[in-house]
Chains A and B, each alone.
Chain A
Amino acid sequence: MIRLEGIQRVFQVGDETVYALRDVNLEIGPGEYVSVMGPSGSGKSTLLNILGLLDRPDEGVYRLETVDTTELGDARQAEVRRHKIGFIFQFFHLIPRLTAAENVELPMILAGVAPSERRGRVETALAALGLADRARHRPDQLSGGQRQRVAIARATIMRPRIILADEPTGNLDRTSGKDVVDTIEALNREGLTVVMVTHDPELGARTRRQVQIVDGRIRGDRREAP
């Protein structure tokens, strides 16, 4: 499903050349539940950005469902993001002036889905995450856990194949963090591929596969026996 070959990403910081990723080879199959762990600055967020097509590698090939994404133009990459990838961020990134329902609706608006169809899908998605009564609330009227669940509803509304989560519980208390993780794991059980960046070992331990990154290289790749 996901296949990284010899990925390299270099940043120029002043005079210094910083290798965020060096020679990364990684293969993730459909339906996997993977955590990417490592100290801060190890390159795990860069890896996630490249997986999400928000960033381009300087070298190497990234194949998503056999398509070589490194050769696609900006507009085509945007299209892949729109239909195949859902993002969950540490800081939720909900648009403050829009209600929960409108935030969830946004990806469908961008994709040009008919208004009549959008309404039903938003209702279903919010209800599935226990947010039906919060649909008309704006983000500042929601708790952290509720906001992240709205963000998850938004990430899944286009029925993507992959969920990329960047520290999804990093900004939440334990209880709501657990709610959010449960929600993500439920999505994984439905067959979505989940890649989650975290430096919380407890959260990492819950995943069936743990990838360790140190200094831009993959240092460990541990799988649980299914």
Chain B
Amino acid sequence: MKPGDLAGFCVRSLAGYPLRTGLMLLAMAIGVASVVVLTSLGEGARRYVAREFTSLGTHLLIVLPGRSETTGGPPPLLGETPRDLTVEDAEALRRGSAVRRVAPIMVGSAPVAWGGLEREVTILGSNAELYEIRDLAMAQGRFLPPGDITRGEAVCVLGHKIRRELFGNASPLGAWVRVGQRRFRVIGVLAPKGQALGLDMSDVAVIPVAAAQALFNSASLFRVLVQARHRDAVARAKSAVLDILRTRHDGEDDVTVITQDALLATFDRILTALTLAVGGIAAISLAVAGILIMNVMLIAVSQRTAEIGLLKALGAPPNQIQRLFLGEATLLSLAGAAVGLVLAAGGVIGVVKAFPVFPMAVPAWSPLAAVGVSLATGLVFGVLPARRAAHLDPVTALSRR
């Protein structure tokens, strides 16, 4: 039997039972479509997170005071003395050759008042370089001026939400606002940038770090943001930061440095695992479709007993009959997968249209895997019915009408 004739015969017999064939196609199509759409959602989530991280700024290292380690042990007990991270520490980091910019960060909360209005907001104490490191943009005015970091000028930059709340439509530039017990002159307003890692930059007031130290009466920094010279220098910058701080802190490693890449890689792993898991769950529906195919093919074999008997009488050897039924299962899987891919394309386009912000993307492997799995299930679950057909006794098969 020629391959073309085999395919033709299979198509004819599938077309002979349109309802049954249609239902099986539907089951297979839903399986394939759900695999592709769900993995695309997972991939979209991964890209979304990656994009958010990039918006933090590039080649970023975050230096945190303190370090998680086990202390104690045999006497004499030496208690850990966590050293604060200070502005001087931050300034010292500039000596690293791989370090391009350094921004100390001090965080606190204080009421900001103007006119009769007052609002409790997050106060960021930092320097001029925060602007480049966090990739900020100005809506009005300018950012903190560069200059001596130990001098706390009484100037501040407002997030756009505070500006709207306190000033309404009036221009805040040049106005004096009260922050805690001190007065600051507004020199700029940040452009809306959205959230990054939980900190809403629209609801902060940025003041020079020295002013923040005076305001909160504290010398310790919340963290230090360090920008490496380029991507490849991140590792060097990290070891430089650790070396410098160890020297300054009497040989103790009491800071933690997180690189953006490491954070990103972690999230990337988590989300890739999530995508695979979701894809796996969707693949269960493919297996269900496979079992459905087996079920329906078994019914087909018993429905078409007489036909199988006839084919045997006409001289079809057992393996040829097996090929005919396997061919039908294969065709069903392939056609179902094709319909499923069309459905998936529709679903993906629909999501992209509905949520343009969400960077939904079909991972290249997902349609291939879906079609592969559907074909494999079709074949695996087609074998049993096909074998049953092939080993049917022609005499009993033909004796039935």
Contacts and interface: CB of A to CB of B under 8 A. Distances in A.
Interface of A: 49, 52, 54-55, 74-75, 78-83, 87, 89, 91, 93, 95-98, 102, 106-107, 109-112, 115, 154, 158
Given A81-B312, A93-B313, 12 more contacts: A55-B394, A74-B318, A81-B315, A93-B307, A95-B310, A97-B12, A97-B15, A106-B311, A109-B2, A110-B311, A112-B1, A115-B4
20 contacts: A52-B313, A54-B394, A54-B398, A55-B394, A74-B318, A75-B318, A75-B319, A78-B312, A81-B312, A81-B313, A82-B316, A89-B398, A93-B306, A93-B310, A93-B313, A109-B2, A110-B314, A111-B315, A115-B5, A154-B314
Nearest to B2: A112
A75 B398 CA distance: 19
Interface residues of B, number: 27
Contact of B317 (A49, A79, A97, A98): A79
A112 B309 CA distance: 19
Contacts of B398: 54, 89, 93
Contacts of A74: 317-318
B175 interface: no
A135 to B, nearest CB: 16
A80 B315 CA distance: 7
B353 interface: no
Contacts of A78: 312, 315-318, 320
Interface centre among B4, B12, B315, B318 (most CB of A within 10 A): B315
B315 A79 contact: yes
Contact of B395 (A49, A96, A111): A49
Interface in B386-401: 394-395, 398, 401
Interface centre among B13, B15, B307, B317 (most CB of A within 10 A): B317
A185 B313 CA distance: 22
Contacts of A89: 398
A178 B200 CA distance: 96
Nearest to A171: B401
Given A93-B309, A97-B13, A98-B12, A107 B314 contact: yes
Nearest to A55: B395
Nearest to A110: B316
Nearest to A49: B395
B9 interface: yes
A17 to B, nearest CB: 18
Contacts of A49: 395
B168 interface: no
A95 B314 contact: no
A148 to B, nearest CB: 14
- Closest 5 interchain pairs by CB? A82-B315, A97-B16, A78-B317, A75-B317, A81-B315
Main SS at interface, chain B: helix
Interface in B293-321: 306-307, 309-320
Nearest to B401: A91
Contacts of A79: 315, 317
A70 B5 CA distance: 31
Contacts of B310: 93, 95
Contacts of A96: 16
Interface string B1-29: 11011000100110110000000000000
A81 B13 CA distance: 24
Contacts of A111: 1, 315
A82 B1 CA distance: 12
Contacts of B13: 97
Nearest to B15: A97
B225 to A, nearest CB: 74
A214 to B, nearest CB: 21
A158 B16 CA distance: 26
B312 A54 contact: yes
B3 to A, nearest CB: 10
Contacts of B2: 109, 112, 115
Contact of B313 (A54, A83, A91): A54
Contacts of A52: 313
B366 to A, nearest CB: 37
Contacts of B320: 78, 110
A93 B13 CA distance: 16
Interface centre among A78, A79, A96, A158 (most CB of B within 10 A): A78
Contacts of B309: 93
Nearest to B318: A74
A110 B9 CA distance: 10
A74 B394 CA distance: 12
Given A75-B319, A109-B1, A112-B1, A81 B395 contact: no
Contact of A107 (B306, B315, B317, B401): B315
Contacts of A106: 311, 314
A160 to B, nearest CB: 10
A102 B314 CA distance: 14
A96 B13 CA distance: 10
